[in-house]
Every structure is written in structure tokens, then in C-alpha cells.
Amino acid sequence: MREGDTTQAHNQKWQRRFFAFFGAQAVSLIGSNIAQFAITWWLARSLDSATVLATATLMALLPGVLLGPLAGVLVDRWPRRLIIMMADGVGALGAAVLMLLFWTDAIQVWHIYVITFVRALAGTFHFAAVQSSTTLMVPPEQLSRVGGMNQTVQGINMLVAPPAGALLLELLSLEGMMAIDVVTALIAIGMVFTITIPQPLASMTQTARPSILSDLRTGFLYIWNWPALFIALLMSSVINFLMSPAFALLPILVLRHFKGNALQLASLSTALGVGFVAGGLILSAWGGFKRRIYTAVLGLAATSVGTLLIGIAPAEGFWIAVVGLALFGIFNTISNGSFFAIMQAVVAPEMQGRFFTVLMSMSQGMTPLGLLIAGPVADRYGVQIWYLVSTVCILAMSTVVLLTPAMMNMEDHQAPQVEVAPAE
């Protein structure tokens, strides 16, 4: 076989395997988002309590914040294909229990809290296993494009899940909505079952495995002793601290500043979703600069244009904010996709479960803190001040990356080449 034929066969092999894997995750995500829309609507309609909604949101955040690093240790120990299927299975089981409770009219709020917590814990395992599996399934030069595809799917779900959920609620009962989640999860499990997902050979051949606490400590030291990696985690946390309140404050921006209505709020949400999809498609087609850090920092700096437009839009300039949110979505997606590609390329495969769960824990942990601070700030100084503060902070972080050699050169610190073994 000629060299060109060999290369083409290799490309077709990884593409077939990865896109089957990618399709399984997309199917599962669609079902979960539709089910979550139905659950949120039931809570809002039945109880009309902001406290209940806030508590349900907290139940979804706590597993990643409190148990994420421990989940990462187990992801680095266990077969990742098995973890993905088990996580989807737990999600399906939770949806099945809710389906039964809705059908028998026995549902209580605490049922929602408990099942939300359990499903979120499964999601923590799922996230780390998927991210770390991608590293070993995709050629390094294609990771940015794959990151763009992931962001595109997230944007499509943001656009499609709410209207699809609203339409299905008119056609189906709540138990029917939960059944959709069960079916899509089972489809995803079946697809993953047929796929070979590589596993770092080192994680399979250790004869004397250290304790879980020792593995946990090793993961933290790995991040701490790599300055660029530690700085990247801190920056991700700061961005989440800024951006989570920015999105949460959109209804207040519409009501207080633009004197608008639900249609205008929907327009802002749609603009953000369209931006995410567009940015993902751009990155998928382009692939970014050869040195991914340039794409990541350029995208990060450019998001400040979006937050600035929102922050300076006059009361009669609603469409300036719409454009700002669309631009933010585009450039945030390009930056995020490139950032994840860098992490997948440079973090050792046998450490990625721990790294990605620490990233999740730190980022999600900033959400409650950001909301706690942003609310009083917006009440005292006006809601737009938060977007202006975000603009300054984003530009400052972009400058720090550009002026920090360890960050700009982090792609030169390649992860050691490790042998991989296919899952049985």
C-alpha cells in the first residue's frame, strides 16, 4: 500500500470511530437538555419559588465542585468507555425514576434535588472521561477543529432545546419528556458499546497501584508544579466568576436598562446561541493558528469587544447589546475550543481525568461567588457596570498571557508519548 493510501486509511479509521463517539455524546446531550428544560419548567410553574430554583441549580453544581477531583482520580484509573456508559446509564436511571414519579403523581421537590445531584455527579465523570478519551482518539493537529465541533453542538443545544422542550411539553406529558432522556441515553450507550476507546497503557499495567489519596495528591502536584497549567486554571476560574453573573443578569439588563420585555430577553439569548454556533463552525473549518495559544488569546481578547458593547449600549440601543452578545459568543467559542485543544495536547493522558475535573471544580465553584457579588454591585451601580468590569478584566488577562513566556510557550511542554491500549 502506498504511503498516501496508508494515511487515508488511517484518517478514515480515526474519523469513523471518533464521529460515532461524538454522535453518541450529542444524542445524549440533546435528551438531557430537553429533560432538564421540562424539570425546570415544572419547578417554576408548580412552586413559583426562586429559592427552589436556586437550590436545584446548587444541587447541579455541588458534585462537580466538591467531588470533581475524586472523580478525576477514578477516571484515570478505570476504563473510560465503561465510565461513559455507566454515567449515561445513571442519567437514564434517574430520568426513569422521575418518569415513574411523574406518572404516579408522587413527585416531590426533594426527589428533584436528589436526582439532580446524582445525575450531576454522573455528569462529572462523563465530562472528564469524554475529554480525556478525545485526546487518544483524535490526531493532535485536529484537536482544535474537534473543539470547535464540541462548541457548535453546545450552541445548537442552547438554541434548540428550549423551543423543542416547550413544543414537546404541548404534545407530551412530563413522564413522556423523561422517556425521551431515557431513550437518548440508551442510544448513546449502545453506540459507545460498539466503539473501541483507547486507554493509557500505564494506567492498565501498574502492579502496585497507589491509594486514591496518593493519586489525588499527585494530580494536584502535577498542576501546581507546572506554572502555565496553574495560571490557565486560575484564568478559567476568573472568567467563570465574571461570565456566569453576566448571563444571569441579562433579565435585569432588559427590564431595568432597556425597559424591555420577554421577547427582547429571548433575542439576547438567541444572539448568544447563534454566536456559539457560528464560532464553533469557524473554528471547525479554520482550525486556528498553528500555535493554538495565539488563537486562544486572540479569541479571549476579542470577547471584550462583546462585553464592552453590552456595557456601553444606551437605553435606546438594544441592538448594540444583541450584536455584543453575538460577538461574545463567537469569540468565546473560538477561545474555549482552542484552550481545550491545548490542554488535551499537553497534559499527560493518564493525568487528564484529574486535570479536567479540577478545572470543573474551580470554574463551577466561582459561579455562586460571582452571583453573590454581582447582584449587590448591579443594584448599587447599575447592571452595565458588571459588563464594563468584565471588559477590563478580560483585557488584563489577555495581556498577562501575552507577557508570560510560560503561557505563550506551554505548547512546547508536550505531554510524554504514552502507549495506549484499546478498551476490551
Nearest by Cα to 156 from 37, 26, 23, 252? 26
pLDDT at 156 over 60: yes
pLDDT at 58: 86
* Residues in CB range of 266: below 8 A, 6 or more apart: none
Predicted confidence band at 337 (pLDDT cuts at 50, 70, 90)? very high
Residue 322 grid cell: 444583541
For residue 106, how far is the Cα from the chain centroid? 33
pLDDT tens for residues 74-99?
999 999 999 999 999 999 999 999 99
**3-414 topology per CATH:** Growth Hormone; Chain: A; (1.20.1250)
First-to-final CA distance of the chain: 29
Q: Where are the domains of the chain?
A: 3-414
pLDDT tens for residues 117-152?
999 999 999 999 999 999 889 999 999 999 999 999
Q: Confirm whether pTM is higher than 0.85.
A: yes
Average pLDDT value for residue range 325-337 = 96
Return the C-alpha torsion angle 333, 363, 31, 16, nearest 10: 60
pLDDT at 50: 66
State the Cα–Cα distance between residues 417 and 212, nearest whole angstrom: 24
Predicted confidence band at 196 (pLDDT cuts at 50, 70, 90)? confident
pLDDT at 6: 45
Predicted confidence band at 424 (pLDDT cuts at 50, 70, 90)? very low
pLDDT at 4: 47
256: part of which helix (H) or strand (E)? Answer: none
